[in-house]
Structure 1
Amino acid sequence: MAKRSGLGKGLDALIPAGKTTGGEAGGVTQVPIDLIQRNPRQPREKFDMTELENLAASIREHGVIQPLIVAPGRGGVYTLIAGERRLQASRKAGLKTVPVVIRNASDQQLLELALIENVQRADLNPIEEADAYQNLAKEFRMSHETIASRVGKSRVAVTNTLRLLDASAAVKQALVDGRITEGHARAMLSLSAKAQEHLLNQIINLDLSVRSTEVLARKLSGQRPAVKKKSGRSPNVSDVERKLQSSLGTKVALKHGKRGGTVTIYYYSDEELDSLLEKLT
């Protein structure tokens, strides 16, 4: 299988392989499964039970092929860093011990590594991912750009994911259940919770596209639908606008006239504003 790249810092980057504790040759040792506790920073809450049962059947037949990563704790108890599915499946398979690599990790590293493992495997739903980003931002004062570099995503992608936390409870649940997409949820963020739920029912009942949802959201918020004007813009102006958007990582509107013009830079959070100020000053 081809190795995935561009996914931010992995385990060895955050906790160098040399920083192991104990263990046998190669750093792998067997640990009683009852002495391993779940990572308290694990962002993932929902697991596919069918997949777990299939993995448990494979473990019964072949054992645990890839060791779990754990951190030493008090009283001989270990905290799981990476390998949540393998740990749960091993318990289902009835294993008494599992192979582990022991490494020291801070609270921040526990959250980062659990997040990275899940993002790389696309295991988190959008709300779990947003909650994890929020924990990194609030508890460890990490900027959106720093979070993005950790998980191998753009800053805009991280910011857009965090915006989903502003959705109503009903919209967030529909997103978790897979009844709507992130695009649907973001289109409703400007509406009140009641209006979001009204539009949510229409999306589900009528199977509306994201574009249709955006149009209805504008109507519900009292905005007039955008009127398409014939483009009289110079290709050079459009090119400059695209370059500005690429450089600043956000939406930019450039209006050019005979005696000058205006540049409008959009931002969607205080974090984005701080980032823009750093780039512009």
Structure 2
Amino acid sequence: MSTPVFIKEGTPKEGLVQGIKLNGWTITSKKASICNSNEMERIHKDFGLPPPEMVFGNNHVVVKHDDFEIKFGAYDALELVDTSSTSSEKIKVAYSEEWTRKSSANHTDVKDVVKPYDWTYTTDYRGTANTELEMNNGPSLVNVDLLRRQDPILFYDQNILYEDELADNGTAMLTIRLRVMPTCFLILQRFFLRVDDVLFRINDTRLYHEFGNKYFVREYTSKEAHYNLIRQKLGRGDISLLNDQDWVSSAMPEEIALSKREKLSVK
């Protein structure tokens, strides 16, 4: 392992960039202020949808190695939100019984969020890369056993790209967590959706590289479960766990609605 070089530039007010350089890789995370009104108007104009309540459009996570770069940012993620004429009906149709019950039980505000765009802000964004990755049709290349080891963490950060409370009917969040160990690094971007009494949805993008291996991995999974199924697994436990993304993810059925595995050859 090469000697790690730690990065810290800027200020929280201007935008703070922190990161690490290790074994030819540079991983940085920038945190800045929430978008101002002009920036929110730009999102509305550019993408044809009112933006989420909180957008951190100047936050990003960047991974670089030689000529390869992949970046995660709110604008590119929001660009993939469905704005087709039928987008707002998809959850309503899939969960019509629960939706009707919720709407009629003194939750008239639910009707207000059914609009001509995907009001859940669901995105299947997997990062913006400057080169194509090749498909991996084999098993996962993420070494879970290695990640479970209690190796020292050289660099860790959490970053948020956007969040919305869905008119008090749940929550939609796009966040990133990253950790770098002496043996490998893992970056997890997660879109987490909870629509109360209706459903949970989790779209995960994992970037992984084990130092010494000649490939870099990107894996995407999408899972969805009925709200009541997850609620039943909680039993009489702490209801706040329904906001715990890791707990909800562990409670989701093993069946994955969609997955995509890719790799990139590296020196």
TM bucket (normalised to shorter chain) is under 0.3
- TM-score relative to the length of structure 2: 0.20
| TM-score computed with the length of structure 1 as normaliser | 0.19
Greater gyration radius: 1
- Of Structure 1 and Structure 2, which has the larger fraction of its residues in helix? 1
Structure with more contact order per residue of length (Cα contacts < 8 Å, sep ≥ 6): 1
Bigger proportion of residues as strand:
2
